[in-house]
Chain A
Amino acid sequence: MGRIHLHGVSKSFGPVTVIPPLDLAIEDGEFVVFVGPSGCGKSTLLRLIAGLEDVTEGRIEIDGRDATRIPPARRGLAMVFQSYALYPHMSVRRNIAFPLRMAGLPRAEQDRRVEAAARVLNLTDYLDRRPGQLSGGQRQRVAIGRAIVREPAAFLFDEPLSNLDAALRVGMRLEIAELHNRLGTTMIYVTHDQVEAMTMADKIVVLNAGRIEQVGSPLDLYRRPRNLFVAGFIGSPRMNLLGGEEARRHGAATIGIRPEHVRITPEGGPWRGTIGVSEHLGSDTFLHVRCDGIPEPVTVRAGGEVGLHHGDTVFLTPDPAGLHRFDDNGQRIE
């Protein structure tokens, strides 16, 4: 079981409030991603759940039990750190066995579980090496191994992939997602990378300045961002956010439209502009278009091969169904 409920949890460091009171419910077996720009309090929130930081106010419940004052060791959670935090003086085997040794498990049982975890994570050949002799991806797997042998109620991941290179990151992302499918254990995953959030999460929690901006499934957030912050943060390339005259015509302070919801119409359209930079990714081409009467450049997603170049004049037609409207306070207008 791994239900984690936060009730009015807040955190202050001296006079500075990093997390104003917030409520959050994480259900058993969910893969929840905390995402937000750096300094938004997502890691602090994770550390509050882990018990590595004391909550200033509020209550943390794990499986219905008040865990607010329970030390981290007894919360039944396992954590994977950004720096892996392996014990450099112990072999991989002893690293993975450490939580079992602390729990006082018999030696045979320790060995059995370590071997099993090593098989799952392809670490069998490395069990007698020291962490210093492993690559970044292998170290990451050892850290995960150390977490899974405990059979915790939930896994906490604190930006686990940010020290890996791009190719490895995609691979580890899949491995972690697969692990979640196989174990079915609650996972809380912190990242600043919205692509990681979109691809892995059952539920995304978007944080900004310690506040929860929106909670929902990846597609929820993508399709119906509740406010300007979420609209701008989720999606790559980001949503076009246009103010001024164009927005007023739609009865909003700001309108948002994703690049894929703007079509290039050669015969004519409501927006007329000149192509600036075009980014060719092979499968897609992103065009940055300066439109007459719109101060912000508009990003448009076109097909893989378009015969358009810098300086060409094009007409753009926004898809009315893909239009998001926001009021003066940046909140969504339905």
Chain B
Amino acid sequence: MARAVPLPRKALTTALAWTIGVLMFFPILWIGILAFRTEVDAIRPPLQVLAAPWTTESFAAVQQRSNYLRHFTNSVVIALGSTAIALLVAIPAAWSMAFVPSRRTKNVLLWMLSTKMLPPVGVLIPIYLIFRDAGLLDTRTGLVIVLTLINLPIVVWMLYTYFREIPAEILEAARMDGATLRSELLFVLLPMAVPGIASTVLLNVILAWNEAFWTLNLSAARAAPLTAFIASYSSPEGLFYAKLSAASIMAIAPILLIGWVSQRQLVRGLTFGAVK
């Protein structure tokens, strides 16, 4: 039974929650507003910005100046490609760590995660040089490779926690029933792990979509994804707030939409295993 909460307290917590929610969402909201202002209106004081008339001229300008579709395609290829490859590597890895753990499994997991704590800029120069020599600079292939590697620890870790929830006896039963390792993974483990895999894919696509450091440093014109598209509206020609905002909205809209539609799955995925 739900606890009875007195009305004033309910009102207070509701107001607090809305305040925090709005504060967190405010930057996005502001970008959304700026995107629909003229360049001149966008740099006025906040209240005048709010009062200024709505216009879509920034979007038109952005679309005219750069090829949104090419950046968008690059983003899709890089995000989906790196996620797919990461899954191919991570599923067997997580399987072995979850179901045939050795004494060092925990250490391996922590070590993998620790690579995420390394500042990326620390390895930028060696990776840049390797990419240059391998001819991978400004190629989608190169970006897929680097994003796969960057996100692999998180993918392995997430899948590992999902797999751990699956009773080992069921996989043993499959083995007794004559399943080869491949059938065991394909017909038993993966169907049971579908919710976990789905949220892993979702999170990884979002991470890859938004990744800016490597995509900006390793791409120029041909392979540049939407992050580079946004960045192209910042410094070099001065700050154009309205166009920058319009570009940002165009870049984050697809992923925002995916996140919105799948938020239940996403939240379940991120808290999965917290309570049995």
Are A50 and B169 CB-contacts (below 8 A) given A87-B188, A88-B192, A102-B183? no
User: Would A52 and B175 count as touching, CB distance under 8 A?
Assistant: yes
Q: Quick check: which of A71-79, A217-225, A264-272, A321-329 contacts chain B, the rest being far away?
A: A71-79
B177 is an interface residue with CB less than 8 A from chain A = yes
B191 is an interface residue with CB less than 8 A from chain A = yes
Inter-chain CA distance A23–B41, complex, in Å, is 90
Inter-chain CA distance A98–B187, complex, in Å, is 9
Interface hits, A61-100 → B, CB 8 Å: 71-74, 77-79, 81-83, 85-89, 98-99
Whose C-beta in chain A lies nearest to the C-beta of B190?
Answer: A89
Whose C-beta in chain B lies nearest to the C-beta of A158?
Answer: B169
Select A99's contact among B167, B178, B192, beta carbons within 8 Å.
B178
Interface hits, B157-208 → A, CB 8 Å: 167, 169-170, 172-180, 183, 187-188, 191-192
A146 is an interface residue with CB less than 8 A from chain B = yes
Q: Determine the chain A residues whose CB is within 8 A of the CB of B183 once the complex forms.
A: 102
A195 is an interface residue with CB less than 8 A from chain B = no
A150 is an interface residue with CB less than 8 A from chain B = yes
Are A71 and B175 CB-contacts (below 8 A) given A83-B167, A87-B188, A88-B192? yes
> How near does chain B come to A88, taking the closest CB pair, in angstroms?
7
Q: Determine the chain A residues whose CB is within 8 A of the CB of B169 once the complex forms.
A: 81-83, 85
A120 is an interface residue with CB less than 8 A from chain B = no
A103 is an interface residue with CB less than 8 A from chain B = yes
Inter-chain CA distance A77–B170, complex, in Å, is 16
Select A81's contact among B173, B178, B179, B192, beta carbons within 8 Å.
B173
Interface size on A, residues (CB 8 A): 23
Whose C-beta in chain A lies nearest to the C-beta of B177?
Answer: A99
> How near does chain A come to B88, taking the closest CB pair, in angstroms?
22
Q: Determine the chain A residues whose CB is within 8 A of the CB of B176 once the complex forms.
A: 50, 52, 72-73, 77-79
Inter-chain CA distance A8–B146, complex, in Å, is 53
Q: Determine the chain B residues whose CB is within 8 A of the CB of A74 once the complex forms.
A: 178
User: Would B173 and A85 count as touching, CB distance under 8 A?
Assistant: yes
User: Would B180 and A73 count as touching, CB distance under 8 A?
Assistant: yes
Q: Determine the chain A residues whose CB is within 8 A of the CB of B172 once the complex forms.
A: 52, 72, 79, 81, 85
Interface of B is mostly: helix
Chain A CB within 10 Å, residue with most, of B167, B169, B179, B192: B169
Are A103 and B192 CB-contacts (below 8 A) given A81-B172, A83-B169, A85-B167? no
User: Would A89 and B192 count as touching, CB distance under 8 A?
Assistant: yes
Are A85 and B175 CB-contacts (below 8 A) given A73-B180, A102-B183? no
A113-138 CB mask vs B (1 if < 8 Å, else 0) is 00000000000000000000000000
Q: Determine the chain A residues whose CB is within 8 A of the CB of B177 once the complex forms.
A: 73, 78, 98-99, 102, 146, 150
Interface hits, A264-310 → B, CB 8 Å: none
Select B170's contact among A52, A87, A102, A150, beta carbons within 8 Å.
A87
Q: Determine the chain A residues whose CB is within 8 A of the CB of B192 once the complex forms.
A: 87-89
Inter-chain CA distance A265–B176, complex, in Å, is 57
A29-64 CB mask vs B (1 if < 8 Å, else 0) is 000000000000000000000101000000000000
Inter-chain CA distance A83–B180, complex, in Å, is 22
Q: Determine the chain B residues whose CB is within 8 A of the CB of A88 once the complex forms.
A: 170, 192
Whose C-beta in chain A lies nearest to the C-beta of B194?
Answer: A89
Q: Determine the chain B residues whose CB is within 8 A of the CB of A86 once the complex forms.
A: 170, 173
Whose C-beta in chain B lies nearest to the C-beta of A50?
Answer: B176
Q: Determine the chain A residues whose CB is within 8 A of the CB of B180 once the complex forms.
A: 73, 102
Q: Determine the chain A residues whose CB is within 8 A of the CB of B174 once the complex forms.
A: 87, 98
User: Would B178 and A85 count as touching, CB distance under 8 A?
Assistant: no
Inter-chain CA distance A74–B191, complex, in Å, is 24
B114-151 CB mask vs A (1 if < 8 Å, else 0) is 00000000000000000000000000000000000000
Q: Which residues of B contact A (CB under 8 A)?
A: 167, 169-170, 172-180, 183, 187-188, 191-192
A–B complex contacts, Cβ < 8 Å, 22 sampled: A52-B175, A52-B176, A72-B175, A73-B175, A74-B178, A79-B176, A81-B169, A82-B169, A83-B169, A85-B172, A85-B173, A87-B173, A87-B174, A87-B192, A88-B192, A89-B192, A98-B177, A98-B179, A98-B187, A103-B178, A146-B173, A150-B178
Given contacts A74-B178, A81-B169, A86-B173, 4 further A-B contacts (CB under 8 A): A73-B180, A85-B169, A98-B174, A103-B178
Top-3 shortest CB links A-B: A85-B173, A99-B177, A102-B178
